[in-house]
């Protein structure tokens, strides 16, 4: 089943025959529901595409529904333990209910920040890590929520300066490697 989803993503990712919002369609990210193997959410160039039946049918959620400009913004996504989808945007995180019809912004320190990367802890999907910045060369912060993104507590204090460029990609990779090592130690 996951093979079919990946094939779907590749087919749409390589297709350039249609252009919505001035861009060809493609899949940027794939998120699997930790509690429902038939539920998959794709971050697509036009918004989100979701299946609840293992890929037999798909529904589209327009990016404007959760506050992004799908013409140029490709947010990161992850699915939490209760089935909610967290969407990291250029201005905050958005928490979508499992039905992807209700969207809300979490409270706390993640408000008014650019979310560079999101990752659910593979051992506890209600623990979500977010790499954020306020932009303009400010410090990038690694933030964590333990309630599936309902409220984001103050930053953990793990910050890095983005000197010498925006540094987002490098720091995201560095933090991902550190987090992966920490999680491997827990198992």
Q: What is the pLDDT of residues 63-97, one digit of tens each?
A: 888 888 777 888 899 999 989 998 988 888 888 88
What pLDDT, on a 0 to 100 scale, did the predictor assign at position 79? 92
What pLDDT, on a 0 to 100 scale, did the predictor assign at position 168? 40
- Please, which pLDDT band fits residue 186 given cuts at 50, 70 and 90? low
Percentage with pLDDT > 90 across the chain: 16
- CB-based contact 59:13 (threshold 8 Å): no
Q: What is the pLDDT of residues 3-35, one digit of tens each?
A: 555 555 555 554 444 544 567 778 889 999 999
Q: What is the pLDDT of residues 152-175, one digit of tens each?
A: 555 554 444 333 334 344 344 445
Helix (H, G, I), strand (E, B) or coil at 4: helix
Which residue in the block uniquely carries the two structure tokens 């589209």?
60
Q: Which of 70, 71, 66 is nearest to 102 (CA)?
A: 66
- Residue 63: φ, ψ to 5°: -60, -30
Distance CA 79, CA 76 (A): 11
Which residue in the block uniquely carries the two structure tokens 């593979």?
122
- Whether pLDDT at 46 is above 60: yes
Percentage with pLDDT > 70 across the chain: 66
DSSP annotation string for 52-66:
SSTTSS-EEEEGGGG
What pLDDT, on a 0 to 100 scale, did the predictor assign at position 58? 93
Structure token pair of residue 141: 């912060």
What pLDDT, on a 0 to 100 scale, did the predictor assign at position 153? 57
Distance CA 49, CA 36 (A): 16
Domain boundaries, the chain: 2-186
This prediction has a pTM of 0.70
What pLDDT, on a 0 to 100 scale, did the predictor assign at position 1? 62
Distance CA 153, CA 137 (A): 23
């Amino acid at each position: 089943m996951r093979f079919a989803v990946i094939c779907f993503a590749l087919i749409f990712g390589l297709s350039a025959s249609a252009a919505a919002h001035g861009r060809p369609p493609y899949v940027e990210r794939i998120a699997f529901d930790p509690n429902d193997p038939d539920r998959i959410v794709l971050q697509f160039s036009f918004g989100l595409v979701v299946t609840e039946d293992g890929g037999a049918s798909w529904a589209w959620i327009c990016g404007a529904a959760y506050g992004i400009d799908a013409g140029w913004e490709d947010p990161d996504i992850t699915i939490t333990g209760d089935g909610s989808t967290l969407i990291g945007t250029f201005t905050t995180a958005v928490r979508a209910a499992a039905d992807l019809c209700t969207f809300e912004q979490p409270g706390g320190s993640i408000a008014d920040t650019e979310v560079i990367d999101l990752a659910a802890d593979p051992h506890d999907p209600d623990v979500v890590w977010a790499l954020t910045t306020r932009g303009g060369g400010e410090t990038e912060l690694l933030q964590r929520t333990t309630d599936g993104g309902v409220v984001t507590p103050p930053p953990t204090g793990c910050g890095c300066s983005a000197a010498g460029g925006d540094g987002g990609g490098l720091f995201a990779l560095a933090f991902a490697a550190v987090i992966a090592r920490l999680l491997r130690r827990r198992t």
